[in-house]
Amino acid sequence: MSNTILSKDSGPIIPTTPLVTFLERVQQTALNTYGHNKKGFDPKLYVDLSLKQNLSTTEKVFDKLVINGSVSVKEFDEFVEKYLGGAEEDLVYVHPVDFVDEPPDFLPKVKNMEVRNWALEVHSLWKNLSRKVSDRVIDRPEFYTLLPLKNPVIIPGSRFREVYYWDSYWVIRGLLASKMYETAKGIVYNLISLIDEYGHVLNGARAYYTNRSQPPLLSSMVIDIYNRTGDKDLVLKALPALLKEHKFWNSGIHKVIIEDTEGTTHTLSRYYAMWNEPRPESSTIDKETASKLSNNCSKTRLYREIASTAETGWDFSTRWMRNGSDLTTLATTSIIPVDLNAYILKMELDITSLANVIGDNITAASFTKAFQARKRAIDSIFWNSEMQQWLDYWLSDSNESKEVYTWNASGQNRKVFCSNFIPLWIQLFNSVECFCLCIREKDVKMVDEVVQSLQSSGLVCPAGIATSLTNSGQQWDFPNGWAPIQHMIVKGLVSSGSEQARLVAEDIAVKWIRTNYAAYKKSGTLHEKYDVEKCGDFGGGGEYGPQTGFGWSNGVVLAFLEEFGWPEDLKLDCP
């Protein structure tokens, strides 16, 4: 965070590197040269290329060649071939040290042979997605946008050629089912090293991702690995990093203070990227979006909102837009998101538990207070007793930042999104005094009411939980369903102590496994997202084409099969 500066729109920015800026120019030139018609033009590809010679030499040649942003296709292709390295050269394939074809005691509850054989295929996909930083990057880091992480990583797949922050949580859930504890720990140590270097975990391990984070789930990764391995050394190394990360989300522009109707003030968190220009990986797209705005000030503001939306992990969705059909109305920094605050509450609970593991009573006591305070804040600001859901809260005036905002019922966004149910994962229905330690009758009654609300929300579809009820063409909206969301809601329902909730959870998990399997049978791969309207269909929409591989989807299939198993006589095909 040391190189953070204040920008004209008064928010902080973290400057990017000269290489990223140059590759953005290459990206723009590629678009000008090939035109929009080039099949599968993906702007991200260009910022993932590397240098073959130093930047100033390469830039001189490029400047000579490209006049007014244009050059012939032949000359451009020759330049790329001669001066730039391919996008796959920086992360190289590595066989995971702890991979075995059939791990001992693998998915013991799966009794059906068809399911077991498929699960073993999904397990074997870790080999395809395993990478380590190439020696070339270690030797000449200034030639690459990839950040040199020490340990191997599991990448999501396809265009996502680097490790991602929140994806890693579900990758790790799958690795734990696959008993690949060393690989899982290596990923966590990599993320810790990013906190040491940048003060937060980056969106992904690229130079162009340093100005934002992603949903903060590092503590969840650490606690889940600790619960399986009992590795105290991991806890000792992770705790200082988690304390730094907690500070990142609870200070500066991420922190929001809000006063409720009783006059009590609460501190909550929001997404806020430290960037107000086009995202380098999608620069041509962002400039086109902003071209609808007439003045530079509103463009700068929009770029900040776009980057902040990428920080949410939900890029893009009507959830963040004032007008659901117009991306220029993104207002993410004016929203206090219910899921982000649930993740941070979980971070506070996890830090308390981890501090107890290593006997750090002072940290444990202070984080007990922190999670109790956030629990009260969540109850007061987000909970809507009429809808029996937790709703995002929109700050009243987007342009004016205040020391303390005043809560107003109209600030709660009453539109239905799957994020309204994410607090289930953190057991937020539990009363403060009972948090995580017991399940009371009163709490179970509340779960049943939330489950009722989920079931009648319209989100539960034939092939899983939809992201929203609005078909906007954005990827984090209807009819897409995403593996991480299915997992958090299902897991929350299972752990709630309500029998009814467990049945609903199991039903969703079965639907999800079936749709993943049917799509796999058709295409031979798992997908980044699925269309929840029809079993076996993958999802679409958004700014890039459908991606396969796919880290978190593989992880959730394995995690569900580990949790629920699969009886011998239950059909795996779509109903």
Ligand X SMILES: OC[C@H]1O[C@H](O[C@H]2O[C@H](CO)[C@@H](O)[C@H](O)[C@H]2O)[C@H](O)[C@@H](O)[C@@H]1O
Tokens representing 342 are: 């649930």
Structure tokens at 323: 């007008």
> Could you tell me which of 149, 139, 138, 136 has the C-alpha nearest to residue 183?
149
d(CA 268, CA 254): 8
- Whats the size of the chain, residue-wise? 575
Residue (283 or 363) nearer to ligand X, CB: 283
Q: How far apart are CA 27 and CA 148, in angstroms?
A: 23
Q: Give min distance, CB of 51 to ligand X, in A.
A: 22
Is residue 132 within 8 Å of 92, Cβ to Cβ?
Answer: yes
- Which of the residues 22 through 51 are near ligand X (CB under 6 A)? 44
DSSP summary character for residue 23: H
Known catalytic residues are 315, 528
160/575 Cα distance (integer angstroms)? 33
CA 359 to chain centre: 32
Least Å distance, CB 529 to ligand X, is: 9
| Neighbour-count burial of 299, counting CB atoms closer than 10 A to its CB (0-12 exposed, 13-18 middle, 19+ buried) | buried
> Shortest distance, CB of residue 164 to ligand X, whole angstroms?
4
Nearer to ligand X, 45 or 504 (CB): 45
Q: Which single residue is written with the structure tokens 């309207």? A: 533
CB of 195 vs ligand X, minimal distance in Å: 18
Q: Of the two residues 282 and 427, which places its CB atom closer to ligand X in the complex?
A: 282
Task: Check residue 98 and report its DSSP letter.
Answer: T
Minimum CB distance to ligand X smaller for 156 or for 546: 156
When asked if residue 200 is in the footprint of ligand X (CB under 6 A), the reply is no
Q: Annotate each residue in 127-166 with x if it binds ligand X (CB under 6 A) or - if it does not, as one string.
A: -----------------------------x---x---x-x
Number of residues that bind ligand X (CB under 6 A): 14
Q: Of the candidates 59, 162, 245, 281, which one interacts with ligand X according to CB under 6 A?
A: 281
Q: Which is nearer to ligand X, 491 or 527 (CB)?
A: 527
To the nearest 10°, the Cα dihedral for 456, 461, 462, 466?
-160
Closest approach of ligand X to the CB of residue 388, in Å: 27
- Which helix (H) or strand (E) is 335 found in, with range? strand 335-336
CB-based contact 572:118 (threshold 8 Å):
yes
- Restricted to residues 307-366, the positions that interact with ligand X (CB under 6 A) are 310, 313, 315
CB of residue 313 to ligand X, shortest distance in Å:
4
In angstroms, the CA 275 to CA 559 distance is 36
Beta carbon of residue 204, minimum distance to ligand X (angstroms, whole number): 6
Measured between alpha carbons, how far is 233 from 367 in angstroms, rounded to an integer?
A: 21
The nearer residue to ligand X, 132 or 279, going by C-beta atoms, is: 279
- Compare residues 144 and 166 and give the one whose CB is closer to ligand X: 166
> For strand 460-461 and strand 405-406, is the pairing parallel, antiparallel, or unpaired?
unpaired
Q: Are the CB atoms for 278 and 286 separated by under 8 Å?
A: yes
How do 265-269 and 530-531 pair as beta strands?
unpaired
Tokens at 333, concatenated: 């920094």
Interface pick for ligand X out of 24, 48, 59, 167 (rule CB under 6 A): 167
> CA 390 to CA 283: how far, in whole Å?
34
Pick the piece of the chain touching ligand X (CB under 6 A) from 110-118, 178-186, 275-283, 517-525: 275-283
Q: How far is the CB of 541 from ligand X (least distance, A)?
A: 11
The distance of closest approach from Cβ of residue 226 to ligand X in the complex, given in angstroms and rounded to an integer, is 24
Q: Which residue is nearest to ligand X (CB)?
A: 310
CA distance to 163, 225, 327, per residue, from 219 (Å): 17, 10, 33
Closest CB to ligand X among 282 and 525? 282
Closer residue to ligand X (CB): 281 or 443: 281
Burial class of residue 356 (count of CB atoms within 10 Å of its CB; 0-12, 13-18, 19+): middle
Region 468-507 residues binding ligand X, contact defined as CB under 6 A = none
DSSP letter at 386?
Answer: T
H and E: helices and strands count for the chain: 18, 18
Out of 33, 203, 453, 515, the residue judged to bind ligand X by CB under 6 A: 203
Question: Residue 387: what residue type?
Answer: M
Chain contacts with ligand X (rule: CB under 6 A): 44, 156, 160, 164, 166-167, 203-204, 279, 281-282, 310, 313, 315
